Amino acid sequence: MENPASVPVNDAQRELEQRALRNVRSLVDKLEGADARRGERNVRLVALVLASMVGVAALAALTLWLVRGPVQSHTVTAVPARAGAR
């Protein structure tokens, strides 16, 4: 039979171990949450950079079009040379 004096010690030890395991689980959950938030933030940053690049390219194209003006086409027709003219 167990010594009655050691039973509370075992219960106290078990309670401390369980509390430590809960603390470790809580820490792991916090770290996983921080990693997930960091990943989401990185995706948003990449999307923002790409959208900014598209905006800058569109603005540059618009500026170039406004500076150059609309493209005008000219038709050039070649007049054949006369056989007897010099």
pLDDT in tens, 26-85: 999 999 999 999 999 999 999 999 999 999 999 999 999 888 876 677 888 888 887 765
Report pLDDT for 73. 79
Residue 32 inside a domain? The answer is: yes
The answer to the question of residue 40 being in a domain is: yes
Residue 29 three-state SS: helix
User: Does 79 map to a domain?
Assistant: no
pLDDT at 86: 55
Mean pLDDT, the chain, rounded, equals: 87
Distance CA 1, CA 18 (A): 25
C-alpha 27: how far from chain center: 26
Q: What is the arithmetic mean of pLDDT over 13-27? A: 96
* Residue 56: inside a domain: yes
Q: How many domains does the chain have?
A: 1
Is 5 a residue whose pLDDT tops 80? no
Q: Which domain holds residue 27?
A: 1-67
Cα 2 from Cα 10, distance rounded (Å): 11
Q: Is 28 exposed, middle or buried (0-12, 13-18, 19+ CB in 10 A)?
A: exposed
